[in-house]
Structure 1
Amino acid sequence: MALWLLAMAAMAFLPVPEFWITLANYIGLYSLVALGLVLLTGIAGMTSFGQAAFVGIGAYASAVLTTAYGASPWIGLLAALALTVLAAAALGAITMRLSGHYLPLGTIAWGLSLFYLFGNLELLKKFDGITGIPAISLFGFDLHAGRHIYLLIWAIVALSVVAVLHLLDSRTGRTIRALKGGVVMAESCGVNTARTKLLAFVLAAALAGLSGWLYAHLQRAVNPTPFGLNAGIGYLFMAVVGGAGHVWGALAGAALMTLLGDWLQGLLPQLLGQSGNFEVIVSGMILILLLQRAPGGLWPVLVRLAQRGLGRSGNGADGRPPLGLRFPGAAQPLARRSQPATGSPVLDVRQARKAFGGLVAVNDVSFALNAGEIVGLIGPNGAGKSTLFNLISGVLPLTAGEVHFMGERVDGQPSRKLAAAGMARTFQHVRLLPAMSVIENVAIGAHLRGHKGWLAGVLRLNRTEEASLFAEARTQLDRVGLGEAATREAGSLALGQQRILEIARALACDPVLLLLDEPAAGLRHQEKLALAAVLRQLRSEGVSILLVEHDMDFVMGLVDRLVVMDFGTRIAEGEPEAIRYNPAVIEAYLGGVE
C-alpha cells in the first residue's frame, strides 16, 4: 500500500491528463471521510449516514471565515476542525446513547437537519452557496489549481492513515476495537464505553471536517448539494465496499466507487443511446454482486491475492505485530495492588433481590467470601446463579439488598468502577474479540493499568507503556498455559482454550476478587486439572474466587465452601462434604429421594 501512495504522489510530476489529477483529488477527499467511517462503523461498530454533514461543517466554516472576514485558509482549517469537533461532541453525546436501528436513524435525522440548515442560513448564502474562496497558500505558493493542491491532499491522506493505524495499535485503539465485543465485556475490563464511543465519533467527524476544508479550497466555492443524505450514503458505501474493518479499505473503496462511477457515466450513454443517471442503477447492481462474493469488502480480497501462498505477516492493526511486542526491551513492571490479609472480608452479599416484573430471579440471597477463599455457587439450571453474578459485578441493578466489596457498598456502581476496585470476571458465554490476537485480548484486561491516551498513541509516545502491558499479558498467558498461542487469532482457539483465555484476561486486571462463570465448561480432563492448579495457586497468592460451575467433580475437589441456589433462593451453604449429603440439595438436583 505504501507503493500505491508513492505512485499517487508521483502523478503530480508526470505528464498525465489533468482529468486524472482531478479524479485522484476527489479520491483523496473521499478517502478521508471513508477512513473515519472505517474507524466508526467497521471497527467500533456504530453506523452513521451523516458524515457528509460534517464535511459541510468543515467546508462552510473555512469558507465563511476566508470570504467574509478575510482570514487565512489555515485559520479556516483551525476553525473547521474546532467547529466540527464541537458539533460532533454535541450530536454524539445524544446519538451515541442510541443502539440498534435507532442509531443509524438518528444520524439520518441530524444529517438531514444540517443539510437544510446549510441551505436556509443567510450567512451561508442559502442554496446559492459561497463563492470566491481563496486558494491555500503554502510556503508562499498559492495552490490554486488541482495539480497544485494534489500533493497536499495526498500528504494529509497519508498522515491520516498513519495516525489511525497508530491509534488502533494502542491502549485506546484496543478499547475502540473492544466495542464490537460488546459493552458488557469492555466495561468489565474497566473501559468507559460511553466515552470511547464518543471519541470514535468525534475522530471520524474530524476527518470528515478536514476533507470539507480541502474541498472548499479545491473547488473555491461551496453550496449544500454535496453535503446531503445521498452523499452520506455514498461515503458509507465506500467504507463498506472497500472493507469496513480495514484501514486501507477506505482508500480502496473510495478509489473503486469514484472510478466506477466515472467509467459508467461515460460508457452507459454510448450503450443505451440516451443520457440519465443509469450509472447509479448499474453501479448498485455491481456493488451488490461484489459484496455477495466478498462480504468483507475489496481490501481483504486484494490482500489474499497479494499474499497467496504466504503466511500472515502479523496480527497488529496494520498487519504487523502489535507495538507492545515490537519493543519488549522497553517493558517496565506494572504496579500491583496489595492483596488483603487471608481471612479478611472481601465480598458480602446482603439480601440480594432481583425481580423482572413479576418474576423473582434472585430472592433475598446472602453470603460472604473472605480473602484467599474459593467459594462455589451451584444449583440446577435456572436457579439464578448467573443473574446473581451480574448483580455482584454491576451488570444488573439490584431490586433490593446490598453488595459490599472490600468494606465499601458497591451495588449501583457500573462494572468499570468495580473493575478499578479489583473485581474481574469471565462470562458464561465466551466474550472475546475473535479477529484480534490472543495477547491483544489479554492486554484489554490490563486497560486500567495503563494511562496513555489517544493522542499519545497517535504520536507513538506510548512505547514503554505498551511494552509493559504486553509483558503483563504474556505473563498471564504463560500462567494459564496459553503462552505459545499468544500471536494466534483468538477465534482460532478451541472453546476450552477460549475460556482459559478469558481467565487470563481477567487476571490481567490484577484482581482481588475473581468471578468465574462456568470456567470448566468445554474443557478436557487434563485441562480441568491444569485449571484447578491455576486456581489453587491464585488462592495461595491471596486472590479470592467465586465460581459458578456445573461439573460437581471439579467443584468438590477445589472449593472451600459451596452456596447452593434453587429457584433464586439460597437453600444451603457449607463445606463440600456437608453439601454433598444435604437433603435439600439432593432434592433440588434429583427431585427428591425415598
Structure 2
Amino acid sequence: MRRALLVAVLILLFALPALPVPEFWITQLNYIGMFSLVALGLVLLTGIGGLTSFGQAAFVGIGAYATALLTTRYGLSPWLGLVVGLAVTVVVALVLALLTLRMSGHYLPLATICWALSLNFTMANMEFLGKYDGLLGVPALSIFGFSLREGRGIYLLIWAIAVLAALGVRNLLDSRPGRAIRALNGATTMAEAMGVSTFRYKVIIFVVAAMLACISGWLFAHVQRTVNPSPFGLKMGIEYLFMAVVGGVGTVGGAFVGAAVFKVIEDQLKELLPALLGGSGNYEIIVLGIVLVLIIKYAPKGLWPYVASRFPAAPRARSTAERLSAGAKPQPGELLLDVDKVRKEFGGLVAVNDVSFQIRAGEIVGLIGPNGAGKSTTFNLVSGVLSLTRGAVSFRGGRVSGLPSREIARRGMSRTFQHVKMIADMTVLENVTLGSYLRGSSGTARAMLRLDRAEELRLFAEAEVQLERIGMAAQMHELAGNLALGPQRLMEIARALCSDPALLLLDEPAAGLRLKEKQALAEVLRQLKREGMSILLVEHDMEFVMGLTDRIVVMEFGTKLIEGTPDEVQASPAVMAAYLGTEH
C-alpha cells in the first residue's frame, strides 16, 4: 500500500504544471523542491550519520556563485557552471571534512558554524563576486533550446532532480555502504570490528550532503536570476536543519515534509501575523521556534515517521541467491592466535599484566576470572579495540597488535561484545548482514544507482543462513531494538559468523540466555568447532564454560593465574581461592 500511495503522489506532483494551479503554488513547490535537496543531505549527515551541521547553506552558496560567475562574467553554459560548482564543492568539502570530522561532541557543530561564517564572509567580501551586492543577470536555464525561464518551465527539472536524489539516498541506505553509514550514529565500535572504516564513511556522507546542497544552489541561482550572500548565511543553515528535524531527520520522506511545512508555514505567517498583531516584524521566527519545540516534545522523530507508521512496509522477501563462498580454514592444530606478554596500563593502573596464551585451530579456549580480573580488557587488546602498552598479538603468523580493529577483522577475526552493540532501528536481518561487510565490494556510487542488487541478495542469503543456524529465522524481520537481551546476543553471534571468521571471539555470549537457549548455543559452538573454527570465549557461566572448552585461561587482578583443561582448572586450589576468597 505504501508503494501505491507513493506512486500516486509522484503522478500528481509531476502533473501539477498542466493543471490550473495558481502560479504562486508552483513557485512555492519550486522552493520546496530546492530546499528538500539540502534537507536530504542533512538526513544522511545528521539523521543517519549523527553529524550535526549548521553550515549546509554555505555549500548552497558555492553552487549558486559558481554558476552565476561563469554565466555572467564569462558567458559560459549554466550546465558547465553545475560541473564546476560540484568540483569546487567536493574540494572544499573534503578539506573541511578532514579538518573537522574527527571532532566529537559539541565541537563538531561549533566547527560547522565557524566554517559556515567564514565561507559566507568570503562570498560577501570578494570583489569579483560583487561583494554584498552579488551578481545580477544570471541567465535562465534551457534544455534542447527550450527555455526554463518561467516557474512552470523549471518546475519539472527541480522535481526530477529532487526525486532522483531521494531515490539515490534511499538506495544508498538500503545497501552495504548504507548499513555502514547507519552504524555511524552510536555503533562505531561495532562497525569498526566488522571491518568498516567509519571515518571514511563520515567523509563520504559529508561530501554527498555538500553536493546535494550545491545542486540546490545551482537551481536557486537560475530561478532567482541573481545571487548575493544573504541566502547563504548561518541563519539559513539553521533553517535547513530545522526543516530536516521537523520532517524527520532520519528519513528520506522527512526531508520533503520538513521543507514543505517550513516553507508554507513561514510564508503564511508572514502575511497572517502582522495583520493579527497590528505591526510588521519577523514574528514567524517566534512561531516556528514554538513549533519546533512542540515537535521535539511530542513527535521527536519528526512528522514523516508518524505518517509512515500508518502505512507499514512489507517485509523483505526471502533471498533466493546462493550464499557467499567461504574462505579457506586453517589446518587443525595450526597455531592461530599467539598472545605474548600483553600489558595494558590506564594511567597508573595496570589492567592487564604480561598475559600470554595461545589458541590453535579447532580449539575452544575459555578466558575466565572474577569480576575485574581483566578478561574483557584482554579481549579488547586481542581484537584491536584497545591499544597495547607493550607486548604482542600475532594471528595466523602475522603481527596484528597495533592494527585497528577493522584491519584485524579483515584478517579473519570476528567478535561479539560484552554489552550488546547493534543498530536498534534496523531489522535483525539487516544487523546480521552488516557482519558480511568485508565479503562485499559495492561502493557508494553503485549503491545509489542500484547496481549492487546481485551482491546484496548474496549478502542477505548469507545472513539468513546464519540466523537459521542459531535458531532465529522467525525473528529476522523484527526490529533489533525490540528483542530481549538473550536473542540480541544470539543476533550478535550470527553477525560475527557472517564475516566467515577463522577465529570467533565471544564476550559473555550466554549472559541473559535461558537454559535451553544456552544448550542450543553450546551445540552451535560445538558444530563450529567440528567445522574447524577456533573460539575464544569470555564467560561467567562456569557450567557453560566447563562443558564446552578444551582449555581455560584463568585471570585474577590482571594476571594469568593458571591455564589448563577444565578438569585441571576445577581442581586447582588457586582458582577456588580466586573465586571464593579462600582455599579449600
TM bracket, shorter-chain basis = over 0.9
* Structure 1 segments of 4+ aligned residues over 6 angstroms from their partners: none
Residue of structure 2 equivalent to 1:20: 25
Structural mapping, 1:105-120, within 5 Å: 105-120=110-125
Residue 180 of structure 1 deviates from its aligned partner by 2.1
The equivalent position to 1:418 in structure 2, one of 403, 408, 419, is: 408
- Secondary structure, aligned partner of 2:185: helix
Per the alignment, in what secondary structure is the counterpart of residue 184 of structure 2?
helix
Amino acid of the structure 2 residue aligned with 1:313: A
Counterpart in the other structure of 1:314: 314
Q: Are residues 1:519 and 2:524 paired?
A: no
Corresponding residue SS for 2:385: coil
Q: Equivalent residue for 1:36?
A: 41
- The structure 1 residue matched to 2:342, chosen from 337, 352, 361, is 352
1:269 and 2:269 aligned: no
- Structure 1 CA distance, aligned partners of 2:282 and 2:86? 34
SS in 2 for 1:254: helix
Deviations 1:420-469 (A, max 9, x none): 10000000000011111111111100011011111111122112111111
Measure the CA separation in 1 of the matches of 2:154 and 2:353. 69
- Which residue of 499, 522, 540 corresponds with 1:550? 540
SS across alignment from 1:302: helix
Aligned to 1:133: 138
How much does 1:181 deviate?
4.1
The CA deviation at 1:281 is 0.5
| Conserved? CA contact 2:187–2:423, under 8 Å | no
Shift of 1:293: 1.1
Aligned residue in 2 for 1:343 = 333
Aligned match for 1:161, one of 160, 166, 169: 166
Match of 1:559 among 546, 549, 558: 549
- Check if 1:7 corresponds to 2:12: yes
1:493 aligns with 2:483: yes
Q: Counterpart in 1 of 2:69?
A: 64
Kindly provide the amino acid, as one letter, of the partner of residue 99 in structure 1.
Answer: S
**Which structure 1 segments of 5+ residues have no match?**
316-320
Partner of 2:300: 295
Kept in 2, the 8 Å contact 1:37–1:244? The answer is: yes
The number of equivalent residue pairs is 579
Cα deviation digits, residues 298-324 of structure 1 (max 9, x gap) = 0012223x43xxxx3235xxxxx3xxx
Whole-angstrom distance in 1 between the partners of 2:347 and 2:482: 40
How far apart are 1:28 and its partner, in Å? 0.6
Q: Secondary structure at the match of 1:347?
A: strand
Partner of 1:427: 417
The reply to whether residue 215 of structure 1 matches residue 191 of structure 2 is: no
Native 8 Å contact 1:92 1:201 kept in 2: yes
1:282 to 281, 284, 287: 287
Contact 1:425–1:514 (CA under 8 A) maintained in structure 2: yes
Report how far residue 22 of structure 1 moved.
1.4
Is this contact kept in 1: 2:433–2:460, CA < 8 A? yes
Question: Matches of 1:28 and 1:2 in 2, distance apart?
Answer: 17
Equivalent residues of 1:335, 1:449 under 8 A apart: no
Aligned partner of residue 446 in structure 1, secondary structure: helix
Q: Which amino acid aligns with 1:129?
A: G
The answer on whether the counterparts of 2:574 and 2:583 sit within 8 Å (CA) in structure 1 is: no
The alpha-carbon deviation at position 98 of structure 1 amounts to 0.9
Q: Which amino acid aligns with 2:288?
A: S
> Are 1:172 and 2:177 counterparts?
yes
For residue 180 of structure 1, give the secondary structure of its aligned residue in structure 2.
Answer: coil
Amino acid of the structure 1 residue aligned with 2:239: G
How far apart are 1:286 and its partner, in Å? Answer: 2.0
Structure 1 distance, partners of 2:295, 2:446, is 38
| Residue 398 of structure 2: aligned partner | 408
Determine the structure 2 residue equivalent to 1:87: 92
* Structure 1 match to 2:231: 226
Give the TM-score, by structure 1 length: 0.96
How far apart, CA to CA, are the structure 1 residues paired with 2:9 and 2:458? 35
1:582 counterpart (562, 565, 572): 572
Q: Is the partner of 2:142 in helix, strand or coil?
A: strand
Distance 1:553 1:314 in 2: 43
- Give the counterpart letter for 2:390 in structure 1: A
Post-superposition offset of 1:484: 1.4
Amino acid at match of 1:435: D
Task: Check the 8 A contact 1:332/1:465 in 2, yes or no.
Answer: no
Residue 147 of structure 1 and its aligned partner are, at CA, apart by 2.0
Q: Deviations over 1:57-115 (max 9, x none)?
A: 11111111111111111111111111111111111111111111111111111111101
> 2-side partners of 1:332 and 1:5: how far apart?
36
Unaligned runs of 5+ in 2: 1-5
Tell whether the 8 Å contact from 2:414 to 2:497 is kept in structure 1 after alignment.
Answer: yes
Instruction: Specify the SS of the correspondent of 1:179.
Output: coil
Residue deviations 1:347-396 (CA, integer Å, cap 9, x gap): 00001000001000000000101000000000111111111111100111
**Whole-angstrom distance in 1 between the partners of 2:351 and 2:364:** 24
SS at match of 1:520: coil
Residues 135 and 144 in structure 1, CA contact (< 8 A), matched pair in contact too: yes
In 2: Cα distance, 1:193 partner to 1:284 partner: 34
Could you say which residue in structure 2 is the equivalent of 1:124? 129
Distance of 2:481 and 2:357 partners within structure 1: 37
8 Å contact 2:353–2:558 — kept in the other structure? yes
2-side partners of 1:454 and 1:289: how far apart? 36
1:318 aligns with: none
Q: Determine if the alignment matches structure 1 residue 476 to structure 2 residue 466.
A: yes
Q: How many Å separate the matches in 2 of 1:119 and 1:98?
A: 28
> Residues 117-159 of structure 1, C-alpha deviation per residue, up to 9 Å, x if partnerless?
1011112111110111111111211111222111110111111
Letter in 2 for 1:34: A
Aligned to 1:255: 260
TM-score by length of 2: 0.98
Q: Distance in 1 between matches of 2:471 and 2:561?
A: 37
- Give 1:199's aligned residue: 204
- Alpha-carbon distance between aligned partners in 2 of 1:563 and 1:377, rounded to the nearest angstrom: 5
Report the Cα distance in structure 2 between the residues aligned to 1:125 and 1:507, rounded to whole angstroms: 60
Q: Following TM superposition, by how much is the alpha carbon of 1:489 offset from its aligned partner in structure 2, in angstroms?
A: 1.1
Letter in 2 for 1:423: M
Q: For the Cα contact (< 8 Å) 1:60–1:124, is it kept in 2?
A: yes
Determine the C-alpha separation between the residues in 1 that align with 2:359 and 2:194: 22
Pair 1:384-2:389 in alignment = no
The CA distance in 2 between the partners of 1:381 and 1:122, in whole Å, is 67
Partner residue of 1:368 out of 358, 361, 364: 358
Quick check: 1:150 aligned with 2:155? yes
Greater alpha carbon shift after TM alignment, 519-528 vs 148-157: 148-157
Contact 1:242/1:299 (8 A) holds in 2? yes
